[in-house]
């Protein structure tokens, strides 16, 4: 009997972490565990303050048939560059050691977290272990950091970009989460051979998150608990991080402070949360509320509590990153106010589906007008707008669609003979077509 091909995922965040990539990778590996022998190398949980159960540097456990190697990392203060650097370098060193200790790895799967070094782990592993490497890019760095001026050190950018370019060129397959990201990859390799790449969208579990009315008991209870009943809720649910211009967008709330029926609700954690809270406190914004991340099983209720969802990106992020929160919002059938660049991935999804409206980043007055317009719509008009997103998701962006694409790529890379046969078949088909 042939052994299953072994895939080692080096992915930083994994169950029970609350990060979006944790939830995606947990679902992906869970769905693929019957097809492959899977090992996951990840940090001890702590993305949103989860308690750490162990102090061992390396700890092995199992999640169903998945072997999970946990690495112990220092606590991270996301507002401190020094603390982030310590966390990232510790992860890079320990994850690399854990990977090198794994035996009989056919394919190393890494993601672009932490920036650049996530991919470098796979590059080193491929060279030293003679394995194959799949590099999944959720965010292009240093382009993302450059867009928000995280540092002005040009030497750091040049070195980081050169390393990540090496990661891409040395990978057997590069995975991208948005069509607009293919342009960024091609620009990196302008005049050179572009690495083999595939676009696979992120997803949500569209069977777990479904449209629900605000009168649903648990939603009504949620609204009453947080004094949100009879309010028009503009919600941002997700990472309160550096790449969304939230520090400026929160100022829009000042324009509505006298309209007592409009509330801005921020659900999540992240590097700028304290700044947002301080701004709301300093300006006495009684129409702004903050809540922590909600449990995964409660997302279908919290997402449906909104009337409109904010899906935003900082200017310059087009082709660099895709806000994955869009899939949960579309699954819940809620209208979207996108603060997004034209021709970006999510702008395209909203244009094609009709599930919302889009304002250019940094057009804060445009955001004010958009909220005023959405508030003026009848409930049935808002419901129709959101329903279009749900229909589009069911037709084009289901979880099975994306996971089957992952399965195909992993099988092709894990079995070089199968990949070669596939290439030969495609070449024959091309020749036949030309004839």
Residue at 273 is within a domain: yes
Residue 278 inside a domain? The answer is yes
Mean pLDDT of the chain: 91
What's the predicted TM-score (pTM) here? 0.89
Residue 212 lies in a domain: no
Residue 27 confidence (pLDDT): 96
Contacts of 155 (CB under 8 A, 6+ apart): none
Q: Are residues 147 and 73 in the same domain?
A: yes
Q: Which of 321, 406, 409, 398 is nearest to 138 (CA)?
A: 321
pLDDT for the residue numbered 2:
66
Burial 322-343 (b: 16+ CB within 10 A, else e): bbbbbbbbbbbbbbbbbbbbee
Q: Is the dihedral of CA 329, 335, 341, 343 positive or negative?
A: positive
Using pLDDT thresholds of 50, 70 and 90, give the confidence band for residue 246.
very high
Q: Would residue 1 count as lying in a domain?
A: no
**How crowded is the C-beta side of 316, counted as CA atoms within 13 Å?**
13
**In Å, what is the CA distance from 435 to each residue of 122, 421, 425?**
41, 21, 15
Q: In this structure, what DSSP letter does residue 42 have?
A: E
H helix intervals, 142-240: 143-147, 154-170, 181-188, 217-225
Beta-carbon contacts of 121 under 8 Å, excluding residues fewer than 6 positions away, are: 10, 92, 95, 96, 99, 108, 110
Cβ of 218: how many Cβ atoms within 10 Å? 14
Q: What is the pLDDT of residues 171-225, one digit of tens each?
A: 999 999 999 999 999 999 998 999 999 999 999 999 999 999 999 999 999 999 9
Kindly report whether the peptide bond that precedes residue 300 is cis, defined as omega within 30 degrees of 0: no
Stretch among 171-175, 268-272, 342-346 having the lowest mean pLDDT: 268-272
Q: Which domain range does residue 275 map to?
A: 217-396
pLDDT tens profile 102-155: 999 999 999 999 999 999 999 999 999 999 999 999 999 999 888 877 777 889
Question: Could you give the CA distance from residue 44 to residue 21 in angstroms, rounded to a whole number?
Answer: 14
Q: What token pair was written down for 96?
A: 């690399």
pLDDT higher than 70, residue 430: no
Do 195 and 264 belong to one domain?
no
Q: Please indicate, yes or no, if residue 209 is contained in any of the structural domains.
A: no
* 222 in a structural domain: yes
Q: Are residues 104 and 221 in the same domain?
A: no
Number of separate domains in the chain: 2
- Between 52 and 107, residue with greater pLDDT: 107
Of the ranges 132-146, 235-249, 420-434, which one carries the lowest mean pLDDT score? Answer: 420-434
Structure tokens that stand for 306 in this block: 């909104």
Same domain, 195 and 340: no
Q: Are residues 425 and 380 in the same domain?
A: no
Q: Is the pLDDT of residue 22 over 80?
A: yes
Check whether residue 412 and residue 366 sit in a common domain: no
* pLDDT greater at residue 430 or residue 179: 179
Same domain membership, residue 300 and residue 182: no
179 in any annotated domain: yes
Whether residues 388 and 420 share a domain: the answer is no
Residue 343 has pLDDT above 70, yes or no: yes
Residues 19, 139, single domain; the answer is: yes
DSSP letter at 24 equals: H
Instruction: Identify the CATH number of the domain in which residue 357 sits.
Output: 3.40.50.2000
Report phi then psi at 76, rounded to 5. -120, 135
- Same-domain pairing of 17 and 34: yes
- 89 occurs within a structural domain: yes
Q: Do 17 and 165 lie in a common domain?
A: yes
Instruction: Mark whether 152 and 90 lie in a shared domain.
Output: yes
């Amino acid at each position: 009997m042939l052994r299953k091909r072994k895939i080692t995922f080096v992915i930083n965040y994994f169950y029970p972490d609350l990060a979006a990539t944790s939830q995606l990778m947990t679902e992906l590996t869970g769905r693929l565990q019957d097809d492959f022998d899977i090992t996951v190398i990840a940090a001890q949980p702590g993305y949103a303050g989860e308690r750490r159960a162990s102090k061992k540097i390396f700890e092995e456990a199992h999640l169903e048939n998945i072997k999970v190697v946990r690495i112990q990392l220092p606590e991270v203060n996301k507002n401190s560059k020094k603390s982030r650097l310590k966390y990232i370098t510790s992860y890079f060193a320990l994850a690399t050691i854990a990977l090198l200790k794994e035996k009989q790895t056919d394919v190393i799967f890494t993601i672009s977290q932490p920036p650049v070094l996530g991919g470098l782990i796979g590059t080193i592993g491929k060279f030293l272990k003679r394995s194959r490497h799949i590099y999944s890019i959720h965010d292009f760095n240093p382009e993302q950091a450059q867009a928000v001026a995280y540092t002005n050190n040009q030497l750091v950018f040049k070195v980081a970009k050169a390393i990540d370019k090496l990661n891409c060129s040395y990978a057997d397959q590069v995975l991208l989460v948005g069509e607009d990201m293919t342009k960024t990859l091609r620009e990196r390799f302008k005049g050179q051979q572009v690495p083999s790449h595939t676009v696979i969208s992120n997803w949500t579990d569209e069977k777990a998150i479904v449209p629900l009315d605000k009168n649903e008991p648990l939603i009504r209870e949620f609204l009453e608990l947080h004094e949100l009943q009879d309010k028009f809720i503009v919600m941002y649910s997700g990472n309160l991080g550096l790449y969304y211009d939230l520090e400026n967008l929160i100022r829009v709330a000042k324009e509505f402070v006298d309209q007592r029926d409009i509330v801005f609700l921020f659900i999540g954690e992240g590097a700028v949360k304290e700044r947002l809270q301080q701004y709301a406190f300093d300006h006495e914004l009684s129409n702004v509320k903050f809540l922590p991340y909600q449990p995964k099983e409660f997302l279908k209720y919290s997402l449906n509590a909104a009337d409109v969802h904010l899906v935003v990106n900082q200017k310059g992020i087009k082709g660099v990153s895709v806000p994955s929160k869009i899939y949960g919002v579309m699954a819940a059938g809620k209208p979207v106010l996108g603060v997004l660049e034209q021709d970006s991935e999510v702008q395209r999804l909203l244009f094609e589906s009709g599930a919302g409206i889009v304002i250019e980043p940094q057009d804060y007055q445009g955001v004010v007008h958009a909220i005023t317009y959405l508030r003026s719509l009848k409930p049935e008009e808002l419901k129709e707008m959101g329903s279009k997103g749900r229909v589009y998701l069911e037709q084009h962006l289901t979880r099975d669609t994306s996971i089957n694409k992952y399965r195909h790529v992993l099988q092709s890379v894990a079995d070089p003979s199968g990949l070669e046969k596939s290439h030969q078949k495609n070449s024959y088909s091309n020749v036949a077509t030309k004839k």
